[in-house]
Structure 1
Amino acid sequence: MTENTSTPSDEAAQNAALQKAVIVGVQPHQDGRVVDEAVRYARLLGVPLVVAHVDVTRFVTYEDPDGYVHSAPIDINFDAGAAEFEAVQAAVAPALDASGITWTARQLVGDPALAIKQLAHKLDAQLIVIGTRKRGIGESIREFFTGSVAARLAHRQHRSILVVPLGDLVPDSQKEIWPEAAE
């Protein structure tokens, strides 16, 4: 793994080494199947893997001409996003280090779909891998307000997206995907 970048020139050099990578969006406590599928495709394509975590508690203030992104917190809890990023790195590192592929982790900020889209553009990514949300009233309300990251990515960029199903599958006989939301 390479370390998270800290300067614009470091990020530009790392971006050059990561061209054509597979990008996988990862959240804390996410099912490992998402990363496993991303590893599988990175290996098949013979490209590096970029683990992307999006800190939604920060927003982009401006971007330098060389692509370096400056951000500011939305919330006064400055450490929440950093702690989540560290948790993501700790969760994926054992499997990725054992996989034998080249990988790195990136902390992105802002809207998940737009942040992943921008990273995919910078790296000319071959594939974006993300997981579905787990079923439940809280997740359905969140998706209602923020929208599906997969759907928003599919309509805002041209790269292929692999959506890995997570959680319990909905039986074909069930009309409503989130029946508890209808109650």
Structure 2
Amino acid sequence: MTDFAGHPLVVGVVPDQSPLVALAAVSLARATGAPALYFAYVDASRYADLEHPDGTVRHLSIDPDIDDEQWPEREAALVELVREWMADEDLPWHFRYLAGRPDRALTHLARAVDAAAFVVGSHVRRHHRRLTDFVNGSVSMQLSHRQHRPVVVVPLSVVDWEGRAPWE
């Protein structure tokens, strides 16, 4: 296990994500003395062709007949989103556009930057009630079973005792 003190956190990012994940990551970083946050988006329509020691990757489209020219625009929009979240914070942050399976890509980044933990948003799927959908689609579940760092899951929607959980 990597000690929290003095080690960064890896924060999972998706488009249109609530700022709650960033707020929770900043709070955890302050509480643990993390020197930086590494925000990361994983594009599952691309694969990592080359992984660099700093956690960045060179990536290519999964389908060689279709070159996705829009990924730089997605990256720029996500960087701007993180910039807005972190505008009033003095904590250093970095952004990584990754590719492939989210759990593997985030784990590679955590190893590269020697992160202490992951901070991700809860998996929200409306109108799906099968347990297999919930478990198989959950990055937090995959991370918690496939590597040794703690995973902090930030709830993105409130489900009171009277409501239904995503797996019900």
TM-score normalised by the shorter chain: which range applies? 0.7 to 0.9
Of 49-58 and 145-154, the range deviating more from structure 2? 145-154
1:34 aligns with 2:24: no
Instruction: Please tell me the residue identity of whatever aligns with 1:177.
Output: P
Contact 1:57 1:81 in 2 (8 A): no
Contact 1:137 1:178 in 2 (8 A): no
Q: What is the TM-score with the length of structure 1 in the denominator?
A: 0.74
Change in Cα spacing, 1:140 to 1:60, as seen in structure 2 (3 Å) is farther
Q: Between Structure 1 and Structure 2, which shows a larger proportion of helix residues? A: 1
1:158 to 129, 133, 148: 148
Indicate the residue corresponding to 1:14 in structure 2. Answer: none
Contact 2:11 2:38 in 1 (8 A): yes
Instruction: Please tell me the residue identity of whatever aligns with 1:52.
Output: A
For residue 172 of structure 1, report the CA deviation from its aligned partner: 2.7
Q: What is the TM-score with the length of structure 2 in the denominator?
A: 0.80
Instruction: Give unmatched runs, 5+ long, in structure 2.
Output: 1-5
CA distance in 1, matches of 2:139, 2:54: 26
What is the number of residues matched between the two proteins?
A: 160
1:172 aligns with 2:161: yes
Identity of aligned residues (%): 34
1:123 to 101, 105, 113: 113
Indicate the residue corresponding to 2:3 in structure 1. Answer: none
1:24 aligns with 2:11: yes
For residue 43 of structure 1, report the CA deviation from its aligned partner: 1.9
For residue 146 of structure 1, report the CA deviation from its aligned partner: 4.8
Contact 2:8 2:37 in 1 (8 A): yes
Contact 1:136 1:178 in 2 (8 A): no
Q: CA RMSD in A?
A: 2.9
Change in Cα spacing, 1:64 to 1:167, as seen in structure 2 (3 Å) is closer
1:133 aligns with 2:123: yes
CA distance in 1, matches of 2:41, 2:67: 17
1:78 aligns with 2:65: no
CA distance in 2, matches of 1:64, 1:98: 30
Contact 1:53 1:106 in 2 (8 A): yes
Indicate the residue corresponding to 1:102 in structure 2. Answer: 92
For residue 94 of structure 1, report the CA deviation from its aligned partner: 2.4
Contact 1:135 1:167 in 2 (8 A): no
CA distance in 1, matches of 2:72, 2:130: 26
Q: 3-state DSSP class of the match of 1:104?
A: strand
Of 148-157 and 64-73, the range deviating more from structure 2? 64-73
Instruction: Please tell me the residue identity of whatever aligns with 1:152.
Output: Q
Change in Cα spacing, 1:62 to 1:103, as seen in structure 2 (3 Å) is closer
